[in-house]
Amino acid sequence: MSLDALHRTAYNEDHEAFRSTVRQFVAKEIEPNADKWDAEGLVPREVWPKAGELGLLCPTVPEEFGGLGLDFGYNAIINEEFGYNTDVATGFSLQTDIVANYIIQYGSEEQKKQWLPKMVSGEVITAIAMTEPGTGSDLQGMRTTAKKDGNHYVVNGAKTYITNGQNADLILVCCKTDPDANPAYKGVSIVLVEADREGFKRGRNLDKVGLDAADTSELFFEDVRVPITNCLGQEGMGFIYLMSELPQERLSIAIGAQTGAQRSFDQTVEFVRERKAFGKPILDFQNTRFVLADLKTKLQVGWAHIDWALARHMKKELTPEEASAAKLWHTELQGEVVDKCLQLHGGAGFMNEYPIAKQFRGARVTRIFGGTSEIMKELIGRKL
């Protein structure tokens, strides 16, 4: 079973040639280890350089910093092939779609030279620390601080639900460099903190409902000293940077959700063809066909919308509201698809030995991370 990309409009022949490389990598390096990594709650570090060697990490990084200098369509293909061919959450997309762009767009020449080549090769694993124990979507309400002391910042605070937290060598920490700023967003900055800095500690690898192999962590900063030069871009501009980069993150989540929904649907069609009830395949019942026909229609619409959004994003025309709408619609669609597909599995759908069970668990968070569905509606509604 492979993802049908024959009728896609967002990609060219080079994109599709790259797709086969990604597909082979997933089949060889990722999927055979799925159960082991899920049980361990971690994707081992040694997999990252293997992905880097094939150009599967940060392909949009300019060639002068060790990347391939490609467009976001290559990132999208990585997301699609990983999302369709495995349920393992590797954390690659966090580095490729999110962190790399912050450093490309706002990093100093020195920061780019120091970090981007190692991110491309997989030598360095990164994370971005936004969420705190007491603040989720309210980024302006963060309490982690970075106070100046001579030519250093002293970072204090705690972050939680941080993807790649156990493996990360470099963390982009969102913090207050001016806690008294009014309005509050003007006091937010992004500071690079290396994991070997004294005072930095990793907390638990958190026990989640799904995405078992993804290391998701608590991080603690106690008088962590970093040079002033570790500020990403301008001090006090962090909130603006976050708002500028969130559309790409939300499009990435939308692509993953659409692909995951398609995987669940295709596997369910195979299941109902084979599984029998009352002497005939489940697919022969009208209710089964009607449910699947409805989902297939919505998936067809979804792929057309993904290609539209991708094309706009690659032309730098996708607006924050459009990206929010994409994340809202596709993650809600994924939730509907996995729920109805699990129902068509009957009792088997509640057993973890069937892929739909893992997909059901993993899909739930897509309506939460990157901004909840409710926040997406608020962002869209503000522009009405």
Catalytic residues, which ones? 249
Where is 246: in which H helix or E strand?
helix 238-274
Provide, for the chain, the percentages of residues in helix, strand and coil under a 3-state DSSP scheme, each rounded to the nearest 5: 55, 15, 30
Q: Which two tokens stand for residue 176?
A: 């207050």
For residues 274 and 283, give the distance between their C-alpha atoms in angstroms, rounded to a whole number.
Answer: 8
Residue 155 bridge partners (DSSP):
146, 224
Identify residue 265 by its one-letter amino acid code. Answer: F
Q: Which two tokens stand for residue 53?
A: 């060697």
**DSSP-assigned letter for residue 142:** -
Residue 190 bridge partners (DSSP):
174
Identify residue 363 by its one-letter amino acid code. Answer: A
Identify residue 1 by its one-letter amino acid code. Answer: M
**DSSP-assigned letter for residue 200:** E
Torsion angle of the four alpha carbons 252, 257, 260, 265, in this order, in degrees rounded to the nearest 10: -140
* R_g of the chain, CA atoms, integer Å: 21
For residues 265 and 277, give the distance between their C-alpha atoms in angstroms, rounded to a whole number.
Answer: 20
DSSP secondary structure string for all residues of 326-372: HHHHHHHHHHHHHHHHHHHHGGGGGSTTSHHHHHHHHHGGGGTTTS-
Contact criterion met (CB below 8 Å) for 189 and 177: yes
Helices 320-345 and 286-314: crossing angle in degrees, nearest 10, is 160
Q: Nearest-5° angle of CA 369, CA 375, CA 381?
A: 145
